[in-house]
Structure 1
Amino acid sequence: MPETPNEHTPRKRLSFGFIGFLALMFVLLWPLSLGPVAWLYDHGYLSDETARMIGVLYQPLSWVFEASPLLEDAMMRYLAFWRQ
């Protein structure tokens, strides 16, 4: 007979693989989310104050892009796509 979960059943822990997957998704999706945010701002869906607050979240990305001309160029092309 299958055991039903109760206070004596150990919980499954998050595996390192799953945590690594989440970290990878964050690293990929964080920069990619900048395009839709730029589109929302350009089309008037975000106020200047909201854009400044959101800008704080993306400040570390700007440091990375400024340090790498290759990444900066790629991001500028990506943003140009969203700002058409």
Structure 2
Amino acid sequence: MDQKLKDQFDGLVEKYSELLVGDSSDEVKEKVKMWALYTHISKSMPPLAKHWNATYPDAKDNLKAIINDIKVLNEKHRESKNQG
């Protein structure tokens, strides 16, 4: 994969993060990537997600916290947009 595509895709993730939660810091972008990929995996291959959850319960709990963070940030971002 070439660097140009990586940079362009990072720009896509950056804009998505900004629109989704109002923040595009590296930490938030990484959380958004994990949230998006896990959500896709859990919907397209539920047995794989279930197996991973059972195999790594501590990681599952950490990922649940990330998912909740994204949800809270999204709700706050939408509220601020509606008030402004």
Q: Give the TM-score of the pair, scaled to structure 1.
A: 0.37
Q: Larger Cα Rg: Structure 1 or Structure 2?
A: 1
